[in-house]
């Protein structure tokens, strides 16, 4: 079964606009999936692969950074919309929230993989943090409380850490070999630091 692109909300006003936006998104993902580091990519290259002019690229995507941010933001916002309010009511039983999110991520790992592997932690987490802020607002609203208690905060932090850890496994990182474990743990710590979550491996390193 072919992997489906997440709902990335291309303009519905003109089919030609939607096609060019999808072509630009796919050109970027294909380049990243082939192992190209994001920093080495140029607008000219992506525009050429997408079959559009540089002018069209700038109109539809803005910049390469904005293109990545939109892909990540739309993907995770789509997840957020699929989580009903009842799943956000405290106390949330077990790890149901992180499992729900990771199930969606698994369905879109071909999109997630290149974005996680080839883009910087800050570029990937900037749009994700916006979605997390949106989700936090929903949690507060659903539970009808101006603030969350320490237990609720700890649960949400643990959920974020679990989701990031799970995403890295989904896109191919692992702990089995020392070198691979170091690479995964370094990236995981960098991703979590972008949303203010401490390095889960620091205690192990310090021992």
pTM for this model (two decimals): 0.80
Sign of CA dihedral 145, 80, 187, 115: negative
Q: pLDDT digit of tens for each residue in the chain (207 aa)? A: 344 445 544 445 588 899 999 999 999 999 999 999 999 999 999 999 999 999 999 999 999 999 999 999 999 999 898 888 888 888 776 677 888 889 999 999 889 999 999 999 999 999 998 898 888 888 888 888 877 778 778 888 888 899 999 999 999 888 888 888 889 999 999 999 988 888 888 755 444
CATH of domain 15-63: 1.10.10.60
Map out the domains of the chain as residue ranges.
15-63, 65-206
Question: What does the alpha-carbon distance between residue 186 and residue 11 come to, in Å, rounded to a whole number?
Answer: 38
Which residue in 186, 189, 207, 206 sits closest to 198, CA to CA?
189
| Residues 115/137, Cβ–Cβ less than 8 Å | no
């Amino acid at each position: 079964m072919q992997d489906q692109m997440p709902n990335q909300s291309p303009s519905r006003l003109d089919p030609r606009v939607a096609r060019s936006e999808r072509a630009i998104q796919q050109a970027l993902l294909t380049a990243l999936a082939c192992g190209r580091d994001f920093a080495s990519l140029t607008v000219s290259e992506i525009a050429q692969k997408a079959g559009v002019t540089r002018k069209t690229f700038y109109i539809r995507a803005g910049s390469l950074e904005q293109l990545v941010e939109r892909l990540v933001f739309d993907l995770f916002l789509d997840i957020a919309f699929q989580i009903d309010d009842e799943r956000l009511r405290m106390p949330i039983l077990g790890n149901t929230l992180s499992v729900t999110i990771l199930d969606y991520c698994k369905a879109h790992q071909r999109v997630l993989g290149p974005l996680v592997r080839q883009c910087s932690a800050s570029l990937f987490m900037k749009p994700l943090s916006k979605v997390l802020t949106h989700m936090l607002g929903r949690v507060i609203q659903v539970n009808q409380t101006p603030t969350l208690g320490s237990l609720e905060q700890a649960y949400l932090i643990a959920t974020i850490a679990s989701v990031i850890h799970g995403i890295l496994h989904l896109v191919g990182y692992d702990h089995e070999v020392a070198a691979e474990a170091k690479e995964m743990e370094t990236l995981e710590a960098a991703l979590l630091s972008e949303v203010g979550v401490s390095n889960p491996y620091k205690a192990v390193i310090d021992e």
